[in-house]
Amino acid sequence: MPINNDWHFLLKDFFRGQALKERTKGVNVSANQHSRRFSPNKLTEKIVPALLVVLVIVLLAVFIIIGLSSVGLIPLT
């Protein structure tokens, strides 16, 4: 069974609500040179999720500050 788990496939797959593991069920994904799986380690298990959360918080903070200043609740110029 051919596997086409490139970036866009994953994005499209996500929107279709299909799990990747269902598409690759019974297939040794790690044997595919294009899959480029990485082994979980401290960096990917702890730091990456924390970074993503921080980015989301900063993104929300920017919008909240701009929103509050737009309605005059924060006296920015």
Partner 1 sequence: MNFLPYLSTIVTFAFTVAVYNRYRQRGGMHSLLWAIGLFFYGIGTLSEVILGLTFNVFVLKIWYLTGAMLTAAWLGMGTVHLLIRKSNAAWVITWILTAVSVLAAVLIFTAPAVSASYNVALPASAQYKDILTRGGLTILLTILLNIYGTLTLVGGAIYSAFLFWRKKILANRMFGNILIAAGALSPALGGTFLKAGFTDMLYISELIGAILMFIGFVMSTTGSTVAE
Which residues form the interface with partner 1 (CB under 8 A)? 5-8, 10-12, 14-15, 20, 33-40, 44, 48-49, 51-52, 55-56, 58-59, 62-63, 65-66, 69-70, 76-77
Cα 73 from chain centroid? Answer: 33
Could you identify the residue written with the tokens 């924390």?
Answer: 50
Q: Which is nearer to partner 1, 24 or 26 (CB)?
A: 24
Read off the DSSP letter of residue 45: I
Q: Which is nearer to partner 1, 1 or 46 (CB)?
A: 46
Q: How far is the CB of 50 from partner 1 (least distance, A)?
A: 11
**What secondary structure does DSSP assign to 17-31, as a single string?**
T--HHHHTTTS-GGG
